[in-house]
Structure 1
Amino acid sequence: MSTLVEDNPAKHRFEILVDDALAGFTAYLPRGEVLLFSHTEVEPRFQNMGVGAALIRATLDQVRERGGRVVPQCPFMAAFIDRHPEYNDLVVARP
């Protein structure tokens, strides 16, 4: 299974492709260098396979590389950050 996570600025979301199929996305509202993440969705056929976690990890890594920050209003992303405190430095505010 090959995965790729890319920012889709036109749709304001990071998307994960699994074997070239759109498997999920995490939507954001840009606020300068801060991205407010509002919703994460994984296609039903890709659920319970670690796709959501892979999406969030790659998204946060890309935000870090750009020098950005996040507001994790999405419960899925907030829970991921709670389980992976190495990403706490990216968080601007908690909902």
Structure 2
Amino acid sequence: MDIRIEETTSGGRYVAALEGHEAEMTYSRTSPKLIIIDHTGVPDALRGKGVGQALALHAVEAAREGGWKIIPLCPFFKSQAQRHPEWNDVVN
């Protein structure tokens, strides 16, 4: 699975491409040290294949590397963060 980032000045999205489909996790940047993950979209064709989980983990790893924190407004990301206490270092 290929995950790429598309950034703008106010946010961006992580995009996972698999089997000719794309899933996304979007975020807004509130400061250089804080992002808000607000949406995860996975098409039906990719459901149950771990794509959403891969996007969430990618966001956590990017936050660790970049030294920023994540506020999880997206219900999917929030539920994943609750299942992964090891992400607490970057999830507010």
TM-score (norm 2): 0.87
Gaps of 5+ in 1: none
- The total of aligned residue pairs comes to 89
Gaps of 5+ in 2: none
- Asked if 2 retains the 8 angstrom alpha-carbon contact of 1:26 and 1:39, the reply is yes
Q: Could you give the per-residue CA deviations for residues 53-88 of structure 1, whole angstroms, max 9, x where no partner exists?
A: 111111211121111110000010011111111101
The equivalent residue for 2:6 is 8
User: Which secondary structure state, in structure 2, belongs to the residue aligned with residue 70 of structure 1?
Assistant: strand
Runs of 4 or more consecutive aligned structure 1 residues displaced over 2 Å after TM superposition = none
Shift of 1:22: 4.4
What letter is aligned with 2:91?
V
**How many percent of aligned residue pairs carry the same amino acid?**
27
User: Which secondary structure state, in structure 1, belongs to the residue aligned with residue 58 of structure 2?
Assistant: helix
User: Which secondary structure state, in structure 1, belongs to the residue aligned with residue 49 of structure 2?
Assistant: coil
Q: How many angstroms apart in 2 are the aligned matches of 1:22 and 1:29? A: 23
- Asked if 1 retains the 8 angstrom alpha-carbon contact of 2:21 and 2:45, the reply is no
